[in-house]
Amino acid sequence: MGEVMEDNQNGPKPVGHALLSALDRLSASREAYVKRVEASALPGETFEQTEMRLRREQDQRDRARAAMPNGSIKPGSPSMIRKPPKGDEQPDFFVPGLYDMGSRDNRSVMDVAVFRLSKREKRAGEVIRYDLPDGYVEVKAGPDGMASVWDYDIVLMLVSHLTEAMNRYREGKGDKPGRVFKPHVSDILKFCRKGDGARQFEQVEAALDRLKGTTIKSVREVSRDSKRTTREVKSEGLISSYEIVSRTDTGKVARVEIEAPNWIYREITEGKQPDVLTVHPDYFLIEPGIGRFVYRLARRAAGKGKAKWAFRTIYHRSGSAGTFKEFCRILRKLIVADDLPEYTLREEAGQSGPQLLMRHRSEAPDALLHDMAVCNRR
């Protein structure tokens, strides 16, 4: 009889089976890494040049952070990017490469905030309404509070998992994914680039409560022909359901199951080209909620080029509970820091007020100088 190893959840398995499974995960992780490098390539850049540039930039950031006490920033040049957690750069060999997947987001919700941007205000029971040309969208919070932009990291992980699984399915390398996603809590924390302290595990459950209780209601008027217009109303949660099983003696989480809502599952599995965009890994290190929203907006509107939006329009689309004056103050701090991943920010005068120019760094003529300046500040 062949040698076996014990698996706590599924009983004994042959060692060869475990090795093959680990190699499969390593191969999937490598494929995801290649896709991530290719997505970061600048015009005319080879794969090797992109890889070297990304490593050089990361080394510069790490050295600059290490040179400052406690990762602090020189006075007058506040960074909007937090320091990565310890071990962030070393994915576990035997953990499926969820962290190494190119993080993805659904384009259809990237230019409105389907979450709150504040850490302090829970906004339980509140409603945010966004008026659109063909209708409106309402974000409704449950009794546990409205899901935050940081809670939404779990949705990004779910979207990334489904997208990668569907890519493998279309290539004939795996089965079509179901709606239920079964990550380890440590995978969630690693994907979101957070530490693995005891409270982080508790916060995952609280985040799932808020995601389950936050619903998105979409009301649109659709013209079917020249004579008839119909009103379509759809309402779903940010997640459909979840289950957490943990040991009562130690409190250690044994299993997490998250069910994708229909609107996300259909978007990714039924469309020939799912409407999703890759999100830069450093997105998860952006500290201010407004900074995260601006990055998502730039990713959606500017892409590899540039886009210009009025401050007031961004304010309305963000669902911010603060005043417009306070929103502008934080937005200008983002412009001064200018260290969002992929995009450089600049304020310009407009006929109806200040405007934000969002430009991809590959298009900016001073991109290299910017990177050096950011490293010097950190």
Pairing of strands 180-181, 343-348: unpaired
Report the side by side order of strands in the sheet with 253-259: 180-181, 253-259, 241-246
What is the C-alpha separation between 48 and 370, in angstroms, rounded? 22
Residue 156 lies in a domain: yes
What is the C-alpha separation between 104 and 281, in angstroms, rounded? 10
Residue 184 lies in a domain: yes
pLDDT given at position 210: 96
Residue 340 lies in a domain: no
What is the C-alpha separation between 256 and 241, in angstroms, rounded? 11
- C-alpha distances (whole Å) from 230 to each of 132, 224, 262, 334 are 16, 7, 22, 42
Residue 73 lies in a domain: no
Residue 247 lies in a domain: yes
The count of domains in the chain is 1
What is the C-alpha separation between 166 and 172, in angstroms, rounded? 10
Residue 24 DSSP symbol = H
Q: What is the pLDDT along the chain (378 residues), one digit of tens a residue?
A: 444 444 444 455 555 555 565 566 556 666 766 776 777 777 677 887 777 777 666 655 555 444 444 433 344 457 888 888 876 753 432 323 333 334 454 444 556 788 999 988 899 999 999 888 888 889 999 999 999 999 999 999 998 899 889 989 999 999 999 999 999 888 888 888 887 776 777 888 899 999 999 999 988 888 877 778 888 898 999 999 999 888 777 777 778 999 999 988 988 888 766 667 788 888 999 999 999 999 999 988 898 899 999 999 999 999 998 999 999 999 999 999 989 999 999 999 988 899 999 999 887 544 444 444 444 444
Residue 331 lies in a domain: no
C-alpha angle 39/42/48, rounded to 5°? 80
pLDDT given at position 332: 95
pLDDT given at position 147: 95
Residue 245 lies in a domain: yes
Range of the domain at 237: 86-280
DSSP, residue by residue, 169-181: HHTTSSPPP-SEE
Residue 67 lies in a domain: no
Three-state secondary structure call for residue 326:
helix
pLDDT given at position 62: 53
